Structure 1
Amino acid sequence: MNSDVIIIGAGPGGYETAVYAAKKGLSVTLFEQRKAGGTCLHEGCIPTKCLCRSAEIADTITDCDTWGFHVSAPTIDFRRIMERKNEVVAQLTSGIEFLLKHKLITYISERAELFDAHTVISESGEKYTAAHILIATGSTAKRPPIEGCDLPGVLTSTEMLDIDHIPQKLCIIGAGVIGLEFASIFRSFGSTVTMLEYAKEILPNFDSDISKRLKQVLSKRGIEFYNQAAVESIERSGAQLLVHYTHKGKECSTEADIVLIAVGRSPRVESIGLDNAGIRYSPKGIETDDTLRTNIPGIYAIGDVNGHCMLAHAASFQGRKVIDHILGIDNRIKLDIIPAAVFTRPEAGMVGLTEEECKQRGVPFTVKKTLFRANGKAISMGEPNGLCKLIADENGKIIGAHIFGAHAADLVQEVSALMNRETTVAQLKEMIHAHPTLSEILQECAREF
């Protein structure tokens, strides 16, 4: 069977690219061995956001006296929380499957791999050819080589989303985005949470001012952090798991009902026929150029599998960029401006360069900060903990934003839009913002320059 484009993998990068290509008049054959939607919909972004919302409600009820409501202590129905999560995922999966019924899209629910540089072979043995092949196979949760990592009760984020109870004691190895979101969620549900992180700070890729403040607030919520902690082994001790680690040279251990391994994700490069096609890759992902092309003409790699930026929205826009490149369309998508967020309580969001990156690259910059506690909307919401940090270059152009506080993910998106239009802090000062809104924090920060 022949088509204009073959896509292997129907996560956000795969299915959104298929729909976009079809709208542009290209015929597409799309393969997915599991369910359409990929990691984001089934094992990541969406299910965790459902749990984040339930955790937010739990916190609101706990603090209801502050808002003038007196209620008895609520009982958490964890079964219902997980049911709702599954309902949301099912609803969105159905929506994606509807989109894929486009007349120019052939959706095949089978595993597929490259047969050679021009051909893909399906699980059932059928061969498919196309002028252009996109690899969008995503990533898998890492399991580090720690003794006892395969014991029952030692889970990755994938299995954590299907547990049937709230653990009394939860130990999380890794304090990146995934680990912190689960820590925040299950602390709200009543778990005792201990976090072990090898690096000096949590959220190693975020601005240090943001990660330090987030750690302070989460610590006040009762989450226990141990940075510079190297996990040595995990063993079963009766009904508990015992995690052994060294912390700043001292041997330590902690007990847990469940141990969550949250040390990142690995590009899914195995068993997809990369060697058959002669594609260059490593454990860090498939090698690509600025247009997402591999070393083999006509073959591209988008999303987690190329290791550039493991975010669902990055995959979607990489796919759009590829299709435009194929069609010769002038594409101005700036893949160096990709906002990111961690949905803890409070949230953290970022886009562009951090202060540390500016120093490392020798980029002249100016940085200014504004606190949430000076914002009327934040105070009225009962969310005074927060920081906004803007970074501008020597010409005043905004090159970075780092926000910690309520709705940080939404606030950083405004800055992302401004950065795409090369806006200066002087221009931001003159843009009228509605009052009272959290977005005024951005303008107030710009006025500090």
Structure 2
Amino acid sequence: MAESTSDLIVIGGGPGGYVAAIRAAQLGLSVTLIERAHLGGICLNWGCIPTKALLRSAEIYRLMGEADSFGLSTGPLGFDLDRIVARSRDVAGRLQAGVRHLLKKNKVTVIEGSARLSGPGQVAVEGKGAFTAPHIILATGARARLLPGFEPDGRFLWSYREALTPDILPKRLVVIGSGAIGIEFASFFAAFGSEVTVVEALDRILPVEDQEISALARTAFERQGIRIHTGAKVVGLTRHESHVEIAAEAGGQSLRLPADRVIVAIGITGNVEEIGLDTTRARVEKGHIVTDSLCRTDQPGLYAIGDVAGPPWLAHKASHEGVLCVEAIAGLTGLHPIDPRHIPGCTYGHPQIASVGLTEAAALAQGHTLRIGRFPFAANGKAIALGEADGLVKTVFDATSGELLGAHIIGPEATEMIQGYAVAGTLEATEAELIATIFPHPTLSEAMHEAVLAAFGRALHI
């Protein structure tokens, strides 16, 4: 088989890999991208995008149920699960085709197959030949962590793939894990009538979020009928002919949770196996490839980006790393390593939850003296007009310097608004710049301004 040479090989075509390939091509490098399954990766095909399509259907269904409060009339509510799923798959397919077009437009050579490092600067692709390049980026992503005894079986125990393409709407659904993935699936199925129970081993749901936000989220989800057990350890599974029963322990009590379907969402682990890392000096720790601030591994010319390189496991972090890595390879100057404090995180259930920077507890642990601002959506005119008055915006400032340390939102369009605080953090804005910024009226974003004002005793509408 023939050998092909380029300036850069990217292994993995997800949001880190394909973005890295495009940016490299823009910088004049010849690029070969190798993808074993689907361009766009898990995020586009089986994660970020199709879940948002499902959740949009759930949002509209929920609003239809509230039509009377808006002075509107509807017929009997109903839904077609197959059509909901089909729309989600169509959205993913459309975007996958878009990625393929972008790669072609930028003259990136795309090779479909499983790649394996075969030596310094060398990659073998089964059935396709050998490829060489002085620079190789590993963007192989990650996969769901498995809970022993709860491995997906395609029937009762669902992986994210079965959850995204459900054959039934389960009457009783148990979700193990309450991070963003678990909460989003819980929110979707609950909207359409499933009796959802969330089981979380830690003492609160959404454990990476600010504790106050987690508590508000729990109240909101329980109000919707979602049952939540925290501090709960799953200890067993019993299979019956038509359902399963989960045994768990929480607060010294035993729980028996019957379920028609179970989703395990307890985190992910990097795809580091069978890619030839044993032929390199790259190190793997806790299931992820160790890199420096410019995505370089211990093997010269070998880089890793995205989920395979460790947390936070977010598509936008992977894309940003891809650009940073390639620009460093191309020799661009003035590059800034990623600061994790400036990476926003989002959960797209109902209500939406978003954050950037430090939680209140983390800021205190780092020794900051704080000024905390809170502004409820119940005092925001646009939120009231939308019928979405639950939730709040919370800001965390350093009391001495005025630095914005963190921002947390729970409520309508939280995932869209958080970027305003992300920009502020990147620009190293203080309360002075944020207070001086004019926010349009009437908008939900006014709550962001008021939460800043509140931190300094200047809130106008509470």
Do they superpose with TM above 0.5? yes
Amino acid at match of 1:385: D
Structure 2: distance between partners of 1:129 and 1:159: 38
**CA-CA distance at 1:335 after TM superposition:** 3.3
Distance apart, 1:395 and its partner CA:
0.6
User: What are the within-5 Å matches in structure 2 for residues 127-276 of structure 1?
Assistant: 127-146=130-149, 150=153, 152-276=155-279
The equivalent residue for 2:336 is: 332
1:292-341 deviation line (CA, Å, top 9, x unaligned):
10011111100000113200000000010011111221223643210110
Contact 1:14 1:319 (8 Å CA) reproduced: yes
CA distance in 1, matches of 2:338, 2:219: 34
Does the C-alpha gap of structure 1 residues 103 and 66 become closer, same or farther in structure 2, counting only changes over 3 Å? closer
Consecutive unaligned residues of structure 2, counting only runs of 5 or more, are 457-462
Distance 1:305 1:95 in 2: 24
Deviation for aligned residue 1:148: 6.8
- Distance in 1 between residues matched to 2:18 and 2:34, nearest whole Å: 9
Q: What residue in structure 1 maps to residue 441 of structure 2?
A: 435
Which digits, 9 at most, give the CA deviation of each residue in 1:78-103, with x for residues without a partner? 11101111111111011111111146
**Contact 1:175–1:262 at 8 Å: present in 2 too?**
yes
Could you tell me which amino acid in structure 2 is paired with residue 324 of structure 1?
Answer: E
Whole-angstrom distance in 2 between the partners of 1:192 and 1:106? 48
* Residue identity opposite 2:233 in structure 1: A
CA distance in 2, matches of 1:348, 1:269: 31
Matches within 5 A, 1:416-435: 416-435=422-441
- After superposition, where does 1:304-383 map in structure 2 within 5 Å? 304-329=307-332, 330-332=334-336, 334-336=338-340, 337-383=342-388
- Residue 255 of structure 1 aligns to a residue whose secondary structure is strand
2:7·2:31 contact (CA, 8 Å) conserved in 1?
Answer: yes
Structure 1 residue 362, shift from structure 2 partner: 2.0
Superposed CA RMSD in Å reads 1.3
Distance 1:25 1:53 in 2: 39
Query: What displacement does 1:159 show?
Result: 2.2
CA contact (8 A) 2:232 2:251 kept: yes
The whole-number CA distance in structure 1 between the counterparts of 2:345 and 2:426 is: 15
Aligned to 1:390: 395
C-alpha contact (below 8 Å) 1:117/1:278 kept by paired residues: no
Counterpart of 2:417, as a letter, is L
Equivalent in the alignment of 1:403: 409
> Cα distance, 1:128 vs. partner?
1.1
Q: Residues of 2 paired with 1:421 and 1:110: CA distance?
A: 42
Does structure 1 conserve the Cα–Cα contact (< 8 Å) formed by 2:391 and 2:409? yes
Partner residue, 1:63: 66
Q: Distance in 1 between matches of 2:80 and 2:390?
A: 30
The CA deviation string for residues 265-291 of structure 1, in whole angstroms up to 9 with x for no partner, is 111111111111231103330001111
SS at match of 1:12: coil
Residues in 2 aligned to 1:103 and 1:43: alpha-carbon distance in whole angstroms: 25
Deviates more, 1:275-284 or 1:228-237: 275-284
For normalisation by structure 1, the TM-score amounts to 0.97
Aligned identity (percent) is 39
**Of 9, 13, 19, the match for 2:12:** 9
Q: 1:50 is matched by which residue type in structure 2?
A: A
TM-score normalised according to structure 2 size: 0.95
Question: Is residue 294–residue 337 contact of structure 2 (8 Å, CA) maintained in 1?
Answer: no
Deviations 1:233-264 (A, max 9, x none): 11212311111111112111111110000111
**Retained in 2: the 8 A contact 1:115–1:121?**
yes
Secondary structure of 2:308's aligned partner: helix
CA distance in 2, matches of 1:353, 1:298: 34
CA contact (8 A) 1:426 1:446 kept: no
The answer to whether the 8 Å contact 1:292/1:301 transfers is yes
Moved more, 151-160 or 243-252: 151-160
Bigger shift: residues 159-168 or 130-139: 159-168
- The aligned counterpart of 1:108 is 111
**1:26-51 Cα deviation digits (max 9, x unpaired):** 11110000010001011110000001
- The count of residues paired between Structure 1 and Structure 2 equals 449
Q: Give the CA deviation at 1:146.
A: 3.1
Counterpart CA distance in 2 for 1:296 and 1:75 is 57
Pick one of 17, 22, 26 that aligns with 1:19. 22
Q: 1:203 is aligned with what amino acid?
A: L
Q: Is the 8 A contact 2:15 2:40 kept in 1?
A: yes
* More off after superposition, 154-163 vs 13-22: 154-163
Report the Cα distance in structure 2 between the residues aligned to 1:428 and 1:383, rounded to whole angstroms.
Answer: 25
Distance 1:104 1:244 in 2: 54
Letter in 2 for 1:358: A
1:369 positional shift: 1.0
